[in-house]
Amino acid sequence: MTKIVYFNVYDITRRYYEENPLNAKDVEIMMTEKSPADLTDEELAKMSDAEIISVFVHAVDVGAQVLEKFPNLKLIALRSTGFNNVDLDYCKEHGIYVCNVPGYGDST
């Protein structure tokens, strides 16, 4: 089963995901208001097998010290334009894809 963890999820975003669920088989979705670096050991134990994580701009540090805690990680889906908070060298070395939202705010 593929595990996806959404970080930095607040009420409005949580409601959206609950009202528009991902219709995929064998996918487990977890959500937290915290950033990956702020997880307790207990929380990390429940999330560390994630293959996909999604973070917002509030995830200040998604560096090697955080990423090494997710040994199965294959994709980081940023819910922002910027990606300067992600250790791209680590991701490249470990075959982790990183995607962002380059057109975010284009119509504002």
- Residues 37-59 have pLDDT tens digits of 889 999 999 999 999 999 987 66
Give bridge partners of residue 39 from the DSSP assignment.
none
Query: pTM to 2 decimals?
Result: 0.86
In order of their start, the domains of the chain are 2-99 (3.40.50.720)
The answer to whether the CB of 76 falls within 8 A of the CB of 86 is yes
The answer to whether the CB of 44 falls within 8 A of the CB of 17 is no
The radius of gyration computed from the CA coordinates of the chain, to the nearest angstrom, equals 14
In one letter, which amino acid is 86?
V
Please report which confidence band the pLDDT of residue 84 belongs to, taking 50, 70 and 90 as the band edges: confident
Element (DSSP H or E) covering residue 19:
helix 11-19
56-73 tens-digit pLDDT: 876 668 999 999 999 999
- Residue given tokens 């990680």 in the structure block: 73
